Chain A
């Protein structure tokens, strides 16, 4: 089955700096890669996703890149703000095949003032 590895496990940045979180996946059939943000005690919330037919996607301060050949994808957050502090999870799935998601182990992002 699919295996997703995520790093770093913790990331501390200064407000205004950029943050990058990286994930690798094992199943070349996976074609859907969402990123979720989870604040303490809250539900995971989708922040951005990318499908295998594109290499990059941006939404304001957030961007995701995908390298299908290397089977890795990354989340980039620019101009970080304190409210970006949370745990971020990457995931991989196969649309059209039920799309069960396999999640990474999460990155605790802390944005310091």
Chain B
């Protein structure tokens, strides 16, 4: 199982807001920045959030990131059917000395 824990799935209606949690420990989320990735069906992962809450150029402000202690959260507002994808959190683990990802969360826009 993954070092970082995400819910397997979340769902919400178009136009609504959803949050995806990522739980870790003091050796990863608690001490290192978190990134978030979106993987649309059949495509490669895309960076959505870095340094906990920053968006790369071209990522709409509907996507936001936050962190508190050893947990991080991805928020998506104004949900669209095109947001249906798998979402992953990732960071570095200072005890393991390698990068870690969450198990992924499948977002369904009903």
Our verdict on whether A and B bind, yes or no, reads no
